[in-house]
Amino acid sequence: MGIGPLGLTASSIVILFSFILFIPLLKSSQRLLINLSFFAFSAASILGIAGGVWTVGAGITNKFIIPLGLPDLPFHLRLDPLSGFFITVISLLSFFVSLYSIGYVKGYLGKRPVTNLVIFYSLFLAGMMMVVIADDALFFLISWEAMAAASYFLVMFEDENLENRKAAFLYIIVAHVGAIAILLSFGIMAGLATGFESFSGYTFDAMREADVPLKWATAAFLLAFFGFAAKAGVIPLHVWLPEAHPVAPSNVSALMSGVMLKTAIYGIVRVSFDLLGGFPWWWGALVLIFGLISAVMGVLYALMQHDLKRLLAYHSVENIGIILVGIGLSMIFTSFNMPMLAALGLIAGLYHTMNHAVFKGLLFMGAGAVLHATGERDMEEMGGLIHRMKWTAPLFLIGCVSISALPPFNGFVSEWLTFQAFLLSPVLPSPLLRLLIPLGAALLALSAALAAACFVKAFGVTFLGHWRGRHMPRVHEADWFMRSGMILAALSCLLLGVLPTFVIDWMDIIPQHLVGTKIGASSGAYGWLWLTPIAPERASYSGISVFFGILFVVALTYLVLHITRGHVERVPIWDCGFAKLNERMQYNAASFSMPIRRIFGFLFKIKEDVKLTPCSTHKPFPKKLNYHLKVRDRFWGWIYKPIVESCFWLARHAGKLQQGRVQAYLIYSFITIIILLLFSR
Amino acid sequence: MKLFTFITQLLQLIILVGIAPAFTGWVRMLKCWSQGRTTAGLFQPYRDLIKLFSKEVLLADNATWIFRFTPYLVFGTAVLAGGIIPMLTVDLPAASTADVIVLVALFAIARFFTALAGMDIGTAFGGMGSSREMTIASLAEPAMLMAIFTVSLASKSTSLSQMVHVIYAGQSAFRPSIAFALIAFILIALAETGRIPVDNPATHLELTMIHEAMILEYSGRHLALIEWAGMMKLFLFVVLGIAAFAPWGIALSGELFPVLLAFLFMLMKLGVIGIGLVLIETGLAKMRIFRMTEFLGSAFLLATLGMLSFFILE
């Protein structure tokens, strides 16, 4: 193959793989290993970005067959605009995170060897890229498993903690249950493509050609949706996510939350729009409903957290929900044959995919910098870090503003597009959808508003006020590698927010391929400054004008007020004459979210304990007060606990067979043979 | 002609920045009259602002750039919001920059940063105010969006100018969805602008204050900017309500005479709405903070009902 986009992408994967061979040579010098390897990974990511941007920009589809794998079952590769888009997203974030890792991973020097981290990091990146360019079920599943296994070992990296081992175990179980469902789904599609006797149906091309009857298509879709939803962390399959993401090294958490979840979105889009093709509207409604539940519940659970990385992990559940809302709307519109609106929904979902990758990557990198600097993940102990971390704080703030969907940053653009898709739905003919969709818009608005509350809490408790813990550690700012990764991600947040028309024009080819039309984001008389989906008089938004408008008014006000004098006097905090203010009197994470906990408390399992130790001389004045709060996921009790308990019950009863005596085992085999003989007669 | 639209745009901003304190003064005057007190006059808010601007700024030792940047941002977003709401005419160059969703988000930015500034110093009051404000906002903001969406569904556009156009073009007949949306909007406007029964702008009692608790540490020109922006916010909610529910009088072109007429209409409507606001404020007592859920929940429900009735009935 010449140097095409597929070649670029493939060479990026080859670099990732071939570097693993050098790792044993570099094992002795860990510092050199970190510098070299993560530089190589950044370079590989740049190749990936080039390949992805080229594919989508030119709207080309490249195919290639590698004569590897099982006999007669070679691997098929295919890079079309949809894959190209996901390659771009994956490579973009992995470029930022690889740069960041050069600084971050050095934090482990002298504590533990990082060779494993480097090896599985490169496998993980390569696995994600292979998933989106795979064009047959076999290669797809191999890549999918490589990605899952690599990330399992990355979650296990600090394996001396019981917490990490438990989280990784839960993760690998859910990942495999999901993988089985995906395998079965491909099995159905492949079997119906060429019959169950032949194997040639394993390519995606054969599945595209196949004429699958509706009930089988539905089964295939439901299985695939279940499998991918387990990977994406859609509620109620999300329980592994808030366990596994926080305990992984922060650079890996950034990748897992930012892009690994997106491979599941890719899978859902690929299977429903491309492989299966036509579908009834209720598939879209199903995706929409699960998306909405995840969006609202995800953010509510996030609000209850006081572990910074866990909070961010629950926000991934929320954002996956928002992406699925866009995709679900698009599926509904497609099934009613409204390509223009379907394209709008799809663009909204995919744009949010990219936005979430960038800002969640940024936030996890910021949380990593905080963890690196303080050794602390619990927000209840933090505070006032903005004074010590002069770079990390504003960068983290940009992430917070973006994820809270505030203009002029990127999160707002995709939510705006999703709202537009909602508002265009009165044209739908189904009465049930007419009930569902207003509620959907309401829930989406609710989750956006709650996200803002959550990030005021996250930023305010972590970076503002005073340090809440007993001893303030020697906090140091992140080094330049970590900073540059975060700065690039923050810049992308801004650029994706103020120049959405360029990006949407670039990716407009994807709905053209999948639903048959473009949305023409900057159509009409307005030009590239204005984002005008559908029609200019319908709605328009110009991020860049909003950005410069705010900047201009703020600068003007500042200048006008500082012409005469800009003097400010620094004084001690006003303590209302009490004079005994201390840092434990500040609002913390638990108290900040208390009103919301009280309002939405019925959704959680809350255990609140207050223990008063009265003073012996003055009864009304307690000497000590212990407050204990435990908020748990209800889904664990509803769904997972019964499954876990029945597994244990089964195991206990099956365990009775195990006597430890050879005679007993001989009898078992004897009985088995007799039964088999009876049946095979 | 193009130049003239820019002049009206500028005029509109000047009116917003200039008249907003007078509207607050009008509301305070009415309130004094209704409670049998002597008034401080229509221009007292201006005197307050001038006083604050001429005072020095006292800043807590550990206040950061967020604390100092917030007043300017809050002021800036309020001015920007004034540029996109059709007050006098729908022929605004800035109107296509942002639609009504952006408008709601602009208020959200101001609130986000005010809440952060409340937590910046690290006093209990600031955090308390931020926590309460964000809780109320997280219930009020979706309700607000739903109310506005209901109107925009009827006019098939989220652009405010377009919404005014469509309401003008007829269909002024009574619509159940718009009625629901209007009631919801009034409830939310009370909550968002911090009026009774949700918050009391005149109190500094720790148990009840919400918005005031966040800005308790501000002084001098910073406080002046925040207070001014607060007055502008009240004004903006009133003109937004006018534009979305009763736009009659707003000029459809940028000509001089209709704009002048629109200005007179606007003053009249502001006067009437001020009376309505005072009737609500003197008639009701401030609610306990956890009763707010019912208040805002019913606003949310009404707005959603409005949207449902649009989908089902219209």
Task: Provide the chain A residues 367-386 that lie in CB contact (below 8 A) with chain B.
Answer: 383-384, 386
Beta-bridge partner residues of A62 = A79
Least confident of A53-67, A287-301, A311-325: A53-67
Within 8 A by CB and 6+ apart from A89, the residues are: A52, A259, A262, A353, A354, A357
Q: Please determine, for residue A69, whether its predicted confidence score (pLDDT) is greater than 90.
A: no
Q: Please determine, for residue B75, whether its predicted confidence score (pLDDT) is greater than 70.
A: yes
Helices A543-562 and B65-84 pack at an angle, to 10 degrees, of 120
| A233-244 mean pLDDT | 91
| B225-247 mean pLDDT | 92
Pairwise CA distance, residues B125 & B254, whole Å? 47
Calculate the CA dihedral of residues B104, B106, B111, B117 and round it to 10 degrees: 170
By the CB < 8 Å criterion, does A580 face chain B? no
Q: Which residues of A touch B60 (CB under 8 A)?
A: 570-574
3-state secondary structure chain B: CHHHHHHHHHHHHHHHHHHHHHHHHHHHHHHHHHCCCCCCCCCHHHHHHHHHHHCCEEEECCCCHHHHHHHHHHHHHHHHHHHHCCCCECCCHHHHHCCHHHHHHHHHHHHHHHHHHHHHCCCHHHHHHHHHHHHHHHHHHHHHHHHHHHHHHHHCCCCHHHHHHHHHCCCCCCCHHHHHHHHHHHHHHHHHCCCCCCCCCCCCCCCCCCHHHHCCCCCHHHHHHHHHHHHHHHHHHHHHHHHHHCCCCCECCCCHHHHHHHHHHHHHHHHHHHHHHHHHHHHCCCCCHHHHHHHHHHHHHHHHHHHHHHHHHC
Query: Which of A404, A446, A549 has its CB closest to that of B112?
Result: A404
Tens of pLDDT, residue by residue over A519-533, are 876 555 566 677 777
Strands (E), A44-175: 62-66, 75-79
Report residue A255 as tokens. 């990748």
Pairwise CA distance, residues A272 & A345, whole Å? 14
Amino acid A521: pLDDT:
64
Q: What is the mean pLDDT of chain B?
A: 88
Whether residue A238 contacts residue A107, with contact meaning beta carbons closer than 8 Å, is answered with no
Pairwise CA distance, residues A396 & A374, whole Å? 16
Cα dist from A453 to A191, A404, A621, whole Å: 49, 8, 34
Query: Which run of H or of E encompasses A351?
Result: helix A339-374
Least confident of A277-286, A385-394, A573-582, B148-157: A573-582
Q: Which residues of A touch B124 (CB under 8 A)?
A: 585-587
Q: What is the mean pLDDT of chain A?
A: 89
Q: Please determine, for residue A573, whether its predicted confidence score (pLDDT) is greater than 90.
A: no
Amino acid A1: pLDDT:
45
Amino acid A439: pLDDT:
83
Calculate the CA dihedral of residues B253, B258, B262, B265 and round it to 10 degrees: -140
Three-state DSSP class for residue A580: coil
Q: Which domain holds residue B231?
A: 2-313
Q: How many CB atoms lie within 10 A of CB B218?
A: 25
Tens of pLDDT, residue by residue over A507-520, are 989 998 888 888 87
Q: Please determine, for residue A598, whether its predicted confidence score (pLDDT) is greater than 50.
A: yes
Instruction: Say yes or no for a CB contact (<8 Å) between B61 and A596.
Output: no
Three-state DSSP class for residue A391: coil
Query: Which of B122, B145, B225 has its CB closest to that of A465?
Result: B122
Give the residue among A140, A102, A141 at the shortest CA–CA distance from A121.
Answer: A102
| B64-81 mean pLDDT | 94
The CA-to-CA distance between both ends of chain A, in Å, stands at 56
Whether residue A331 contacts residue A278, with contact meaning beta carbons closer than 8 Å, is answered with no
| B263-283 mean pLDDT | 92
Tally the domains of chain B: 1
Q: Percent of chain A having pLDDT more than 90? A: 53
What phi and psi, each to the nearest 5 degrees, are found at residue A608?
A: -120, 125
By the CB < 8 Å criterion, does A498 face chain B? no
Q: pLDDT confidence of A362, banded at 50, 70, 90?
A: very high
Amino acid A635: pLDDT:
86
Pairwise CA distance, residues A643 & A620, whole Å? 48
Whether residue A62 contacts residue A4, with contact meaning beta carbons closer than 8 Å, is answered with yes
Report residue A132 as tokens. 């989106």
Which residue of chain A is at minimal alpha-carbon distance from B219? A568
Sign of CA dihedral B266, B269, B273, B274: positive
Instruction: Say yes or no for a CB contact (<8 Å) between B76 and A460.
Output: no
Tens of pLDDT, residue by residue over B84-97, are 898 888 878 777 77
Amino acid A2: pLDDT:
54
Amino acid A565: pLDDT:
66
What phi and psi, each to the nearest 5 degrees, are found at residue A461?
A: -75, -35
Q: pLDDT confidence of A566, banded at 50, 70, 90?
A: low
By the CB < 8 Å criterion, does A599 face chain B? yes
Query: Which of A386, A569, A596 has its CB closest to that of B58?
Result: A569
Paired sense of beta strands A622-633 and A75-79, if any: unpaired
Tens of pLDDT, residue by residue over B4-20, are 778 888 888 999 999 99
Pairwise CA distance, residues A186 & A180, whole Å? 10
Q: Please determine, for residue A555, whether its predicted confidence score (pLDDT) is greater than 80.
A: yes
| B198-220 mean pLDDT | 84
Amino acid A556: pLDDT:
92
Tens of pLDDT, residue by residue over B13-42, are 999 999 999 999 999 999 999 989 999 889
Least confident of A233-237, A562-566, A665-669: A562-566
Tens of pLDDT, residue by residue over A420-468, are 999 888 888 887 787 788 888 889 999 999 999 999 999 999 999 999 8
Three-state DSSP class for residue A62: strand
Least confident of A5-19, A373-387, A524-538: A524-538
Report residue A168 as tokens. 């990784």
Amino acid B97: pLDDT:
79
Please compute, for residue A351, the number of CA atoms within 13 A of its CA located in the half-sphere on the CB side.
33
Q: Please determine, for residue B148, whether its predicted confidence score (pLDDT) is greater than 60.
A: yes
